[in-house]
Amino acid sequence: MFGRNKNNSDETSTTVEPVSTTPGGKKGRPTPKRKQAEAARLHPLVPADRKEAKRAARAARNARWEAEQRALVTGDEKHLPARDKGSARRFVRDYVDARHSFSEWVLLVMMASIILIMILSLFGNKIPEQTQVYILYASTILMYGAFIATGVEAVLVWRRIKNAFTQEHPRDEIPRGTGYYTFSRMIMPRRWRSPRPQVARGEFPK
C-alpha cells in the first residue's frame, strides 16, 4: 500500500522546463552586471583622443586669456574679468580716471619714505645722530600722513560716486566690494591702472 502511494507520487510529479525567451517583450540575452552597465554609461563621456582634448582645452584657455588681455586695454565689457564687469564698476573707473587726486601718488610717497629709512640704516654711521632723528621722524610722518589723507579722500570720492551713479542709473545696483574697488584704483598711478583708463582728465561719466 505504501509502495503504491510512492509510485503515484512519482508519476504525478512534473518537470520544470526552462523558460524560453520570446521576441514579444522578454529579454533574449542575460542582464548585464552593475559594473558593466555603469561602464557602458560612462564610456561615451571619455574622449577618444585625450591628447587632442587637452590641446583643445589649452587652446580655448589661451584664447580666453588673450581676449581678456585685449579687453583690459580696450575696455571691451564682454571679455573683461568678472571683477571689472558691470555698469557700476565702469562708472567708478571713469570717475576716478577723470580726477586729479593726491591718492594716486601715495604709493610713490611711501616708496620714497622706505628708501630714506633704508639709506639711514645703511649709512647711519656717516650721518650725524640729530640728522638721523629728523629723517626718521620726517619719513614716519610722511607715510602716515599720506595714508590718512588717502583714506579721507577715498571716503569722500566714494560718496560722490554713489550719489552720481544712483542718479544716472537708478535701476542698477552697486555690487558689494565696489567701495574697496574705488580705493584700490585711486591709489594706483594712472598709467599703472588696469583696466586701462578710457577717459581723459576732466571727462566725467554722464
DSSP assignment of 190-202 equals: GGG-SSPP-S-TT
Give the chain's domain count: 1
| Phi, psi values for residue 171, rounded to 5° | -90, -10
Range of the domain at 81: 58-192
Helices (H), the chain: 2-12, 34-42, 50-74, 87-98, 106-122, 129-168, 178-186
- Give the largest Cα separation in the chain, rounded: 136
CA 44 to chain centre: 32
Is the residue at 113 inside a domain? Answer: yes
Is the residue at 21 inside a domain? Answer: no
Is the residue at 23 inside a domain? Answer: no
Cα 5 to Cα 172: distance, rounded to the nearest angstrom: 96
Per-residue pLDDT tens listing for the chain (206 residues): 444 444 444 444 444 445 444 455 455 555 656 666 665 565 555 556 888 888 889 999 999 999 999 999 999 999 999 999 999 999 999 999 999 999 999 999 888 888 888 888 888 778 888 888 888 888 889 889 999 999 999 999 999 999 999 999 999 999 999 999 999 999 999 999 999 999 999 999 97
Neighbours of 13 (CB within 10 A): 7
Is the residue at 158 inside a domain? Answer: yes
